[in-house]
Chains A and B, each alone.
Chain A
């Protein structure tokens, strides 16, 4: 059926946008959990958790919205990725549940506080690692027969995906530490200034490995990068430039710039990855059009999304606006 508008492109844009929002926003609050074991003391941990507490669940909204939207707009992605990543999805959900509950109860706990700290930290690390491994698995591609995943339970877990998993753990920790630089002062901020360059170095190492390795897995990626569309080389260059800004601004002890530039690293790496794989959404075989749902289903839901996304964005901005400025030292009992 031919239609005037290609809704599949619009949906690819919506899902892509939602995913980026999720990574940037949940990234810095997952980062707090990853940094938890390295924090100087319990008071610092309280402050770290307070620095994300009002916004974290709004951040996770984007994951659920993206997941549901995926089933509606690109069912093939949903029905191949989830079986292929079966164990990883479970680990991610378990991680997110534990850290989510820790948010609720750590603030209400007195003697059992340390348990909730562990729950928060381990949950965050496991969730971040699983998400990073998903990125790696996407780069690797999926074994399919017809429209059905036909690989094994642990195909997603390879040395490469372990590296991307660890890379995202480092990346989220970097988002978390630069967030702390912006939102806190004193001891916690000093801690964040100190740890940021190390995290940046770890992230850059993974960035290099992925950039070199990806074209070898997938010849079409090689063609893409060495096939004459030179404009896309701007993306990794910009990502590297952002990394340099992070390094430089931390050295100058600037407060807002490290976080902004870290978001830049993520944004340009993400766009670079999309540029490599476009238009394949279930590599190596299926494009966004192969994976798309029926036109009238895409249209039916689009009406709802066009209504609700502005509201979610407005609510999100409002929450961040109310929460602007530095987080005071932890003040609860």
Chain B
């Protein structure tokens, strides 16, 4: 079999970006969580908030450290595997990605050190300010990245001259039609991720009866946030979907498994899309609901995949099912938020074993939901790299051979497996250390020791706790 550099490059990019994405999505939400704990500590003077903040700062430091490493690879992949795309879009993508780097460095240089190591060295107000600035910085970083991605979905403000895009309007290209929705959707996803992880880990500590006072506070706050965030995310997602219908109708057609343009389109709960036959098998459906959701009219017309030739259709099975995984997890999140509300009177949220154990498991759900969501939006754009303008095949590096792509694909899998299993393993150690270890005097403290993000964590990697 001939190795196809296009397929391999897409797999490689998907692998690296999926691996990478889970870290920033967590740190963005966690930075705000920490800032929140610091604000509460500052306002109430209650030392429990500070204990919580100390612990979660350690977690933040480790996750941030891992995310930076995988991010470096990302910045080179555009050039190695997608050089035609990079060259064509450099006038926009170059400055935008550079600004992301610049933001990150500015943040690290100015505030991260103060947040991680400055607690006893600067006034409390300064430390709080650093926490807020780090949280703000993570959003500025994601602003640039999401502007870049949104431009690939809904290009605007650019002019194509001799195979190279020129920026006609920075405002139009940065704030392109899908940007606002994507940004809101991702920001909420980050908050949800942090809230579920904090809830899950606190629940786990509560089951173990560790640091009950502080962890109960954390769980309670997280659940209040979930109660607001989870339904809000569903609403924002809905608006995002309407925006997609307007600008990328084929993506929505794939999400709905809708092969033919028609009115009164049903919402499919289950189906096995068959791209070859251009139909679905084993449909389980609610009549007319998709039309109603997307057009607010039971008999509204929705575009079907038959409007474009097969080669211009996205991979329907992947998009269809990723979308259902994302929405299903989202509904599950709402259910847990409501369950928390029901249990809250008389403090049963701290006692119900089923609820606490459920939260433990749910703490990983946002990561899967986020990845599924990205698969929907990225695969749903296929075969386009820049929607309607440049295909994956056109953006690929011309000199790339299947062998080269396979070599690096295997290479990245090996490197990431080794390095990130060490990272995750260490993160679990930090979790196991808990609030107790985070607030204890550090036995691992050293004189003249480096001030790296990981240095904020004081747990040995290979020692049993």
Indicate if the CB atoms of A90 and B451 lie closer than 8 Å: no
Assembly CA distance A149 to B400 (angstroms):
10
- B397 CB–A CB distance under 8 Å: yes
A65-B101, A308-B106, A333-B443 given; A151·B399 CB < 8 A: yes
- A10 CB–B CB distance under 8 Å: no
- A237 CB–B CB distance under 8 Å: no
Indicate if the CB atoms of B97 and A68 lie closer than 8 Å: yes
Indicate if the CB atoms of B94 and A87 lie closer than 8 Å: no
* Chain A residues within an 8 Å CB radius of B462: 109-112
* Chain A residues within an 8 Å CB radius of B451: 54
- A304 CB–B CB distance under 8 Å: yes
Closest beta carbon of chain B to A125's beta carbon, Å:
16
Residue of A nearest to B90 (CB): A75
* Chain B residues within an 8 Å CB radius of A108: 426, 444, 454, 457, 459-461
- B73 CB–A CB distance under 8 Å: yes
A297-B94, A304-B99, A327-B448 given; A83·B167 CB < 8 A: no
Indicate if the CB atoms of A305 and B449 lie closer than 8 Å: no
Assembly CA distance A164 to B72 (angstroms):
25
Assembly CA distance A96 to B73 (angstroms):
10
Assembly CA distance A64 to B397 (angstroms):
21
Query: Which of B166, B401, B415, B423 is close to A94, meaning CB atoms less than 8 Å apart?
Result: B415
Interface residue stretch chosen among B21-29, B39-47, B403-411? B403-411
Interface residue stretch chosen among A97-105, A192-200, A227-235? A97-105
* Chain B residues within an 8 Å CB radius of A149: 83, 397-399
Assembly CA distance A73 to B450 (angstroms):
34
Residue of A nearest to B461 (CB): A108
Assembly CA distance A50 to B452 (angstroms):
12
Which residues from 267 to 295 on chain B have a C-beta closer than 8 Å to any C-beta of chain A? none
Indicate if the CB atoms of A83 and B80 lie closer than 8 Å: yes
- B446 CB–A CB distance under 8 Å: yes
- Binary contact track B64-99/A, C-beta < 8 Å → 1, others 0: 010001001101101110011011001111110111
- B342 CB–A CB distance under 8 Å: no
- A93 CB–B CB distance under 8 Å: yes
- Binary contact track A50-73/B, C-beta < 8 Å → 1, others 0: 100110110001001101110111
- B7 CB–A CB distance under 8 Å: no
Indicate if the CB atoms of A293 and B90 lie closer than 8 Å: yes
Assembly CA distance A152 to B99 (angstroms):
33
Closest beta carbon of chain B to A154's beta carbon, Å:
9
Indicate if the CB atoms of A68 and B75 lie closer than 8 Å: yes
Assembly CA distance A153 to B403 (angstroms):
9
Assembly CA distance A67 to B90 (angstroms):
13
- B109 CB–A CB distance under 8 Å: yes
- B419 CB–A CB distance under 8 Å: yes
Closest beta carbon of chain A to B112's beta carbon, Å:
11
Closest beta carbon of chain B to A133's beta carbon, Å:
15
Closest beta carbon of chain A to B419's beta carbon, Å:
5
* Chain A residues within an 8 Å CB radius of B448: 50, 54, 323, 327-328, 331
Indicate if the CB atoms of B83 and A104 lie closer than 8 Å: no
Number of A-B residue pairs at CB separation under 8 A: 215
Indicate if the CB atoms of A294 and B91 lie closer than 8 Å: yes
Closest beta carbon of chain B to A310's beta carbon, Å:
11
Indicate if the CB atoms of B95 and A103 lie closer than 8 Å: no
Indicate if the CB atoms of A79 and B106 lie closer than 8 Å: no
Which residues from 222 to 255 on chain B have a C-beta closer than 8 Å to any C-beta of chain A? none
- A321 CB–B CB distance under 8 Å: no
Chain A CB count within 10 A is highest, among B170, B449, B450, for B450
* Chain B residues within an 8 Å CB radius of A96: 72
- B160 CB–A CB distance under 8 Å: no
Residue of A nearest to B429 (CB): A108
Indicate if the CB atoms of B92 and A64 lie closer than 8 Å: no
Assembly CA distance A312 to B94 (angstroms):
20
Closest beta carbon of chain B to A58's beta carbon, Å:
8
- B465 CB–A CB distance under 8 Å: no
Query: Which of B109, B110, B400, B461 is close to A105, meaning CB atoms less than 8 Å apart?
Result: B461
A73-B94, A90-B411 given; A53·B449 CB < 8 A: yes
Indicate if the CB atoms of A79 and B454 lie closer than 8 Å: no
Which residues from 313 to 327 on chain A have a C-beta closer than 8 Å to any C-beta of chain B? 315, 323, 327
- B354 CB–A CB distance under 8 Å: no
Q: Can you report 18 A-B residue pairs in the complex whose CB atoms are below 8 A from each other?
A: A65-B101, A68-B97, A71-B90, A72-B98, A83-B83, A90-B408, A101-B423, A103-B452, A107-B449, A108-B461, A110-B462, A149-B398, A153-B401, A293-B90, A315-B110, A323-B448, A328-B448, A331-B448
Interface residues of A (CB under 8 A from B): 50, 53-54, 56-57, 61, 64-65, 67-69, 71-73, 75-76, 78-84, 86-87, 89-90, 93-94, 96-98, 100-101, 103-105, 107-112, 147-153, 293-294, 296-297, 300-301, 304-305, 307-308, 311-312, 315, 323, 327-328, 331-333
What are the 6 A-B residue pairs with the smallest beta carbon separation, nearest first? A72-B94, A75-B90, A82-B79, A53-B450, A79-B87, A332-B446
